[in-house]
Structure 1
Amino acid sequence: MASLVESVVNFPVPKDAAAIKSFVHMAGYYRWFVPNFAEKAARLTRLLRKEVEWSWGAPQQEAFECLKRVLTGRPLLAYPYFSKPFTLVTDASKVGLGAALPQDRGQGEQPVAYASKVNAKNVAQYGITDLECAAVIWAVKLFRPYLYGRKFRLVTDHAALNWLMTSKDLTGRVHRWALQLQEYDFEIVYRPGKDNVVADALSRAPVRTVVSSRTDAAPPGGEGQLTDDEIATEQAKDKTVQSLKSKKKYGDRRVGEEGALVYIYERDGSKRVVLPS
């Protein structure tokens, strides 16, 4: 849905080789799910060669749009399965914050959601440690319905998070951040910056509208979760949900109502509440 993938759909057109490299590396992280990835990316990767003069025209734009469609559609983009653990991947730059919420179904990480956010002026002044911590706090809040009450992996390319969780001398906003994280159950996983390409690319090319969450499935009930009545109220106000309800289809899946809630019915007979964006 649009809100889920806006940070990729509206990814800025690359203006130089560095921006192309960042975008292609993000797309390439999921290359195992993308048939003929090298062919799809060829018109972009060619511009990374030193002997090739920079030229952005219709062929390059077409390749760029093709890869964005791959990143934001099935079969790569996955439905959330709450019986399996989530991974939250974050990164930060002076320009913005980036995050991805993937799951591994046994074939490698597949994205459930992407997000990015342009830094406010005061946040852009943070040091790198505070920036990385700010990215984690923002992403955890954003994806709270998926993470609260479940153990998840929190992937970062910076030691800031270990410091945040273990330091005894925290003050001010950093102390508040540490307290906020105490209500979550997660394992910190270090991923070198050269491998943290998805969140890195999103943080360096953020969009101004932030992704909320995937509009396919609601997590089970629990503290901090929406009730059925609250979901139904928000569904009634959401244009995307109402469009699905009217069309009665989501791809090749049926959309229908049970009581006040709108559901997507899977081919295996299961059903998923459509979350408002």
Structure 2
Amino acid sequence: MNKIQNWPRPTTKNKVRGFLGLCAYVRMFIKDFSQVEAPLKRLTREDVLWKWDEKCEEAFIKLRKIVGKEITLKRFNYDKGSGRIKLAIDSSYIAAGAPLMKEDENGKDRQVLYESVTFSGLESKYSQPKLELCGAAIILKKLQTILWVKPFELQVDAKALIEMINTPCLPNAPMKRWVAFIQLFIFYLVHKPGKTFIMPDGLSKRKKGEDKEESERDDFDEEEDWIKPHPGFGLKEVNTRTVGKLLRNKSNIEIPIKQEGFGKHMQEYLNTLQKPKNIREEYFKKIKRRSMNFYLERGQLKRRNQENPQIVV
């Protein structure tokens, strides 16, 4: 909801069109939508000079409030038969945007939340296919506590992204890690033509506003090598198709680690996947990097065989 409520005031006709396009995605739930949007709609006409007046401001504030708060009231329900979960992701060079939706009893999509993340300077220079893949991985990472082990429909408008996820013969390690992470989820890939992909496109082109969470986000790989700290998870080749599987490595060397200092902190991290208390950020990053070499068994920390890595990509 924050993403819409903090939407920055449009400063050009194109930005007004983008905002109205996002609102139009849920217009069926807004009473008298045409009347409310009229001042902004008029401003987008080519024969009208740009002038942001009080009526435009009033319409913008009202729509932002309605779309960002009043109609986003669909409770996220995991009950069987409660309607399909849908996540639509789109990326621009500015950001990745994604509305999370749930079908209501009438089969209509109701928004549960809006998510968007601003790309770093390095990420914004990626090619468009790589940017789409990066955006999908980052959005799923932010929503992992909601979507983990729950089937959902993943909607994208980039056919290249579908091919990369289904046939991940990718040219570099970061892209392989993103695909490995994405394939840990249970989803149905659905292609949506760009012209019908209004809301995700609008969210992806929204510049960074007042959301502190966006400005503090680290790069995907720097923030957390998410797959590595999870003992047993990896990618395995099955009949020439790469699928997410739960793997068990039988080649582990069971070397008990003394439970003091580094060993104590490593055990706490593997047990909770949270930063141990009273340690520096640099030390925590070291623990995360090395966590792929350790695992827990019956509460005891043990070291893996370094000649047989757990992750196969």
**Structure 1: how far apart are the matches of 2:33 and 2:205?**
23
The Cα shift of 1:193 comes to 1.3
2:86 maps to what in 1? 87
2:146 maps to what in 1? 146
Gaps of 5+ in 1: 212-222, 224-229, 231-277
8 A Cα contact 1:156 1:189, kept in partner: yes
2:130 maps to what in 1? 130
**Structure 1: how far apart are the matches of 2:73 and 2:137?**
24
8 A Cα contact 2:137 2:179, kept in partner: no
1:163 maps to what in 2? 163
- TM-score, normalised by the number of residues in structure 1: 0.71
The AA in structure 2 aligned to 1:22 is: G
Gaps of 5+ in 2: 215-229, 231-271, 273-313
**Structure 2: how far apart are the matches of 1:199 and 1:77?**
19
Classify 1:173/1:61 alpha carbon distance in 2 versus 1 (closer, same or farther; 3 Å). Answer: same
**Partner-residue secondary structure (3-state), 2:89:** strand
**1:65-76 mapped onto 2 (5 Å cutoff):** 65-76=61-72
**Number of paired residues?**
209
The AA in structure 2 aligned to 1:90 is: I
**Structure 2: how far apart are the matches of 1:32 and 1:14?**
23
The Cα shift of 1:19 comes to 0.5
Classify 1:109/1:177 alpha carbon distance in 2 versus 1 (closer, same or farther; 3 Å). Answer: same
Deviation sequence 1:105-128 (CA, Å, 0-9, x none): 125111111112221000000111
Greater Cα radius of gyration, structure 1 or 2: 2
Deviation sequence 1:202-261 (CA, Å, 0-9, x none): 1111335348xxxxxxxxxxx9xxxxxx9xxxxxxxxxxxxxxxxxxxxxxxxxxxxxxx
8 A Cα contact 1:34 1:76, kept in partner: no
1:234 maps to what in 2? none
Deviation sequence 1:246-277 (CA, Å, 0-9, x none): xxxxxxxxxxxxxxxxxxxxxxxxxxxxxxxx
8 A Cα contact 1:137 1:181, kept in partner: yes
8 A Cα contact 2:168 2:179, kept in partner: no
**Structure 2: how far apart are the matches of 1:79 and 1:153?**
18
**Structure 2: how far apart are the matches of 1:133 and 1:21?**
26
8 A Cα contact 2:22 2:202, kept in partner: yes
**Structure 1: how far apart are the matches of 2:68 and 2:166?**
37
2:179 maps to what in 1? 178
- TM-score, normalised by the number of residues in structure 2: 0.63
**Structure 2: how far apart are the matches of 1:173 and 1:75?**
38
* Sequence identity percentage: 25
Greater RCO between the two (CA within 8 Å, min separation 6)? 1
**1:92-241 mapped onto 2 (5 Å cutoff):** 92-105=91-104, 106-170=106-170, 171-207=172-208, 209=211, 210=213
Point out the more displaced range, 16-25 or 163-172.
163-172
8 A Cα contact 1:98 1:202, kept in partner: yes
